[in-house]
Structure 1
């Protein structure tokens, strides 16, 4: 029997893919970076021999400069340390001076019997270099008038105030804080 020839099926047309949707705003196509040409190796020149006379001089000068710099740094650190110590000593001396004044005044305070809590009163005191009191002004009341008046009387009674051991610590105007339960 003769072979049957089957008719070839007609190829179906395949649908073409939809073209990609273009955005409303056109994007610039990024340019591909051009490959950089490789740098050509620079032929190495033979090192020139350095004169031996210059090296020891430069080394010595460099060492001298470094030593001088170290000395200056050490001197600065020492000066800073001394100034810090002086500031601490001055602060302590000032606190001692104010403590002596407050001690003398507290010895003259007659506390009112009806005082409650530990109220604070602040006074501005103006004194002469001799320690004599020129004026006393209540800066902040304790809220207890009898206590405030007792402190003011004690300040005036304490005139002349003690002088500082170091004259430069003297202050013509003092701000003194008082609380009945603190020493």
Structure 2
């Protein structure tokens, strides 16, 4: 059931004065390949990121993002150091709470995105992070987004709620 836009909760959820920053971008060219870090990328409208194996499919998961501030917590819970590529998300963002972008539009560089759903961890986290890796990421898996308007973005670009 959607929130009443006049409710106090809806007003609190709509208040997002923070601006984030892209810290890392990664692409996986094929299944079971390591993610490659890149400095910039092209996002294709209702698709995915050029050079990434996921082409967006239904569009709900054209791009995956994870909160930079969650990486130390995931590492602590997994009992090991981690690199962004291990977590299989395309973009690491700092400075803005990604969950607040669910069901709303935001911009990174030239690209307009729509937050669609939480990006829950997959069973591959057990291999990537070791036993308990799946549970270490629960609640901190990030956000999936649809690419509403394509273009380019790069490491260092701002992440701004629209």
Into which bin does the TM-score normalised by the smaller protein fall? Answer: under 0.3
Structure number with greater CO (CA < 8 Å, separation at least 6) is 2
Give TM-score, length-normalised by structure 1: 0.21
Larger strand proportion of the pair: 2
